[in-house]
Amino acid sequence: MSAKKILLGEKDIPTAWYNIVADMQNKPLPPLNPQTKEPLKPEDLEPIFAKELIHQELSQERWIEIPEEVRELYKIWRPTPLVRATGLEKALDTPAHIYFKNESVSPVGSHKLNSALPQAFYNKKQGIKRLTTETGAGQWGAALSFACSVFGLGLEVYMVKVSYNQKPYRRIMMQTWGAGVISSPSTLTEAGRKILAKDPNNSGSLGIAISEAVEKAAADPDARYTLGSVLNHVILHQTIIGLESEKQMEIAGEYPDIVIGCFGGGSNFSGIAFPFLRHKLAAGKDIRIIAAEPASCPKLSRGKFEYDYGDTVGLTPLLPMYTLGHDFQPADIHAGGLRYHGAGTIVSQLHKDGYVEPVDIPQLESFEAGQLFANSEGIIPAPESTHAIAVAIKEALKAKEEGKQKNILFSLSGHGLIDMASYDQYLSGNMKNYQLTDEEIAKTVDSLEKIIK
Ligand SMILES: *Cc1c(COP(=O)(O)O)cnc(C)c1O
């Protein structure tokens, strides 16, 4: 009988995060100062981010040590299990071996805590008193709330209004951990007031909430801003997922042919994929890396590679990325998360160089995959994670058709126990696919300033 779960001990928690930039032939283009359009200087970022995080953001060192305090806190739930999805394999009757890295076992229910803890740690170490951030469905806000409570930092979370009103449970989690949660757009910031003056019923977006949180942090010398995805330092922290998986696959005696992650801004995808992609970059290993996007927000497969802002108002540095444009908002009927308009700069460069395969998943297919997974493995996956499951299923069925044994590894980025309203919508038959047209994408992409020659 082969093992169902491959477990590591606390002593196996990695001692360093992996920075893939060190192994990239084409380094990512530099971020630009939004005023001067010149490459950003580290000092430009100091009012907004902790110094150590800026250092990591721009670093080209291959390995960056994980502070002892952070490794100690990782022990609360890490190392996470690597699970052989034998139930799913059986349901699909596939010769493929399917493995998933179960990041849903964290206290907040997702991978986000992997970066929330180090971000809070470095800010605390620098003497910062308060953090600000944004959150969509509340996963990042919840993770940072717990991290700030551990380190005794204050926290203000700008939560996208539609989620604030429709998804109260993560707001209550954040408040339980002591954070202040504000519905965005709000009247507390210039950015929020500007949006509300134009459109009093604006239901909010991640881009708007980022503008508000950045503005608040920049105005307070004792406060800094934090982001839960997209940026290089966030992706760096998430490589702990792939580094543990690497050891666990070795114990299983197998090597993945395909590594899959769902894709919002790219942190859990990069986290599981980069330590394996390293073998391809450094040793020519044959491996496919697939990013599972929602068809309603397909930045990698249908976006444009160009400099764009991380927020709606244009306060953040200009980042070179695959983007749908900073004004892009996915259709309201989209229930599966992963709503951010752009992809992190490292993944964007890797995609441009042909190392990443994006796949778009319509939402009915993603929830169908989620339900099959729930019934075969017991875990109800986060709506975001169902996109990765849908791709794993596609690849497992392809392996069956071709009569080939393939090893498939995906990141189960979170559980869906606080997202049951989306499942309700799916189960009641009220969910529809959304056909995003080229014209809609052009509306927000064509207005981007052309900076990349
Ligand atoms: C936030 C989130 C994502 C998307 O963010 P990435 O940075 O792309 O990983 C995916 N899954 C879950 C469960 C999340 O909370």
Residues 275 and 195 in one domain: no
Considering the domain architecture, whether residues 215 and 283 belong to the same structural domain is answered as: no
Same domain, 329 and 266: yes
Residue 281's DSSP bridge partners are none
Task: Please report the pLDDT score of residue 50 as a whole number.
Answer: 97
326/383 same-domain check:
yes
Q: Which residues pair with 99 in a beta bridge?
A: 84, 409
Q: What are the structure tokens assigned to 36, written together?
A: 């001067």
Between the CA of residue 282 and those of 21, 278, 279, 394, what are the distances in Å?
A: 12, 6, 5, 29
pLDDT on residue 382 = 97
Nearest CA to ligand 1 atom 13: 414
Contact 121, 149 (CB under 8 A): no
Residue 103, helix vs strand vs coil: helix
Distance (Å, rounded) from C-alpha 92 to C-alpha 101? 19
How far, in Å, is the centroid of ligand 1 from the Cα of 285?
27
- The domain of 222 spans 113-227
| 3-state helix, strand and coil shares in percent for the chain, rounded to the nearest 5 | 45, 20, 40
Report the pLDDT averaged over residues 141-149.
98
Query: What's the 269 CA to ligand 1 centre distance in angstroms?
Result: 8
- Counting ligand 1 atoms within 8 A of each CB, the residue from 112, 299, 356 with the most, and so the one to mutate, is 112
Q: Please, are residues 238 and 264 in contact by the beta-carbon 8 Å criterion?
A: no
Q: Does residue 1 surpass a pLDDT of 80?
A: no
* Of 147, 143, 140, residue with least CA distance to 121: 147
Residue 410 forms beta bridges with which residues?
100, 260
Whole-number pLDDT of residue 311? 85
CB of 419 shorter than 6 A to ligand 1? no
Q: 436: exposed, middle or buried (C-beta count within 10 Å: 0-12, 13-18, 19+)?
A: buried
In-domain check, residue 128: yes
Virtual torsion, Cα 50, 54, 55, 59, nearest 10 deg:
150
pTM: 0.97
Q: What is the pLDDT of residue 230?
A: 94
CATH number at residue 196: 3.40.50.1100
Q: Is residue 178 part of a domain?
A: yes
Q: Is residue 450's pLDDT more than 90?
A: yes
| Per-residue confidence (pLDDT) for residue 53, from 0 to 100 | 98
In a domain, 30, yes or no: no
Distance, CA of 52 to CA of 216 (rounded, Å):
21
Q: From the CB of 416, is ligand 1 less than 6 Å away? A: no
Residues 201 and 257 in one domain: no
What is the structure's pLDDT at 335?
82
Whether 297 lines ligand 1, by a CB cut-off of 6 Å, is no
- Listing from the earlier edge strand, what are the strands of the sheet with 154-160? 180-184, 154-160, 130-135, 223-225
Residues 170-189: what's their mean pLDDT? 97
**324 with 289, same domain?**
yes
> How much distance in Å is there from the Cα of 3 to the middle of ligand 1?
28
Q: What is the pLDDT of residue 167?
A: 86
- Indicate the SS3 state at residue 259: strand
Our CA angle for 267, 434, 230, nearest 5°, is 15
Q: Is 340 in the pocket of ligand 1 (CB under 6 A)?
A: no
Q: Which tens digits make up the pLDDT trace of 337-367?
A: 898 999 999 999 999 999 999 999 999 999 9
What total number of domains does the chain contain?
2
For 324-348, what is the mean pLDDT? 90
User: What amino acid occupies position 392?
Assistant: A
- Which residue CA neighbors atom 15 of ligand 1 most closely? 139
In a domain? residue 280? yes
Cis peptide before 30 (omega within 30 of 0): no
> How many helices, marked H, and strands, marked E, lie in the chain?
18, 15
23 alpha carbon, distance to own chain's centre: 22
Which segment of 38-47, 324-333, 405-414 scores lowest on mean pLDDT?
324-333
Indicate whether 343 and 391 sit together in one domain. yes
Q: Which atom of ligand 1 is nearest to the CA of 261?
A: 9
Would you state the structure tokens that stand for residue 291, as one six-digit string?
A: 């990013």
Ligand 1: centre distance to CA 251 (Å) = 27
Of ligand 1's listed atoms, the one at least distance from the Cα of 264 is: 8
One-letter amino acid of 116? A
Tens of pLDDT, residues 206-257: 889 999 999 999 999 999 999 999 999 999 999 999 999 999 999 999 999 9
Token pair, residue 433, equals 């696919």
Ligand 1 touching residue 317 (CB < 6 A): no
Q: Which atom of ligand 1 is nearest to the CA of 103?
A: 13
* Same domain assignment for residues 215 and 158: yes
159 within domain boundaries: yes
Is there a domain that residue 294 lies in? yes
Q: Is-contact 68 49, C-beta < 8 A?
A: no
Rounded mean pLDDT, 114-133:
98
The residue among 48, 50, 361, 5 whose CA lies nearest residue 214 is 48
CA distance 337 to 351: 22
pLDDT tens, position by position, 393-443: 999 999 999 999 999 999 999 999 999 999 999 999 999 999 899 999 999
pLDDT in tens, 271-321: 999 999 999 999 999 999 999 999 999 999 999 999 999 888 888 899 999
Residues 342 and 378 placed together within one structural domain of the fold: yes
Mutate to test the pocket of ligand 1, among 133, 321, 338, 387 (most ligand atoms within 8 A of CB): 338
The mean-pLDDT minimum among 40-49, 187-196, 308-317, 350-359 falls in: 308-317
Show the tokens assigned to 223: 């406060």
Q: For residue 110, give the ligand 1 atom closest to its CA.
A: 13
* Residue 196 pLDDT greater than 70, yes or no: yes
Read off the amino acid at residue 449: E
Q: Whose CA is nearest to atom 5 of ligand 1?
A: 264
- Asked whether residue 2 carries a pLDDT value surpassing 80, the answer given is no
User: Are 267 and 131 in the same domain?
Assistant: no
What local confidence, expressed as pLDDT, does residue 205 receive?
Answer: 86
Nearest ligand 1 atom, CA 112: 15
Ligand 1 atom at shortest distance from the alpha carbon of 139: 15
Hey, what are 390's tokens? 């849908």
Distance of CA 112 from the midpoint of ligand 1 (Å)? 7
Three-class SS state of 412: strand
CA gap 453, 173 in Å, rounded: 46
285 in the same domain as 400? yes
What share of the chain has pLDDT > 90, as a percent?
92
Domain end position, chosen among 188, 204, 227: 227
Final residue of a structural domain among 227, 249, 274: 227
Atom of ligand 1 nearest to the CA of 136: 1
Is residue 81 domain-shared with residue 177, that is, in the same domain? no
Nearest CA to ligand 1 atom 10: 384
Ligand 1 centre and the CA of 263: distance in Å?
7
- Do the domain assignments include residue 62? no
Q: Is 277 exposed, middle or buried (0-12, 13-18, 19+ CB in 10 A)?
A: buried
User: How would you class 264 by CB atoms within 10 Å of its CB: exposed for 0-12, middle for 13-18, buried for 19 or more?
Assistant: buried
- Arithmetic mean of pLDDT over the chain: 96
Lookup: tokens for 233:
């330092």
Nearest atom in ligand 1 to 265's CA: 8
Q: Give the residue from 172, 197, 227 where a domain finishes.
A: 227
235 Rama class: left (phi>0) / alpha (psi -120 to 50) / beta: alpha
Q: What is the pLDDT of residue 236?
A: 98
The per-residue DSSP string of 165-232 comes to HH-HHHHHHHHHTT-EEEEES-SSSHHHHHHHHH-TT----HHHHHHHHHHHHHT-TTEEE--SSSSH
Task: Give the distance (Å) from ligand 1 centre to CA of residue 163.
Answer: 15
Q: Is residue 363 part of a domain?
A: yes
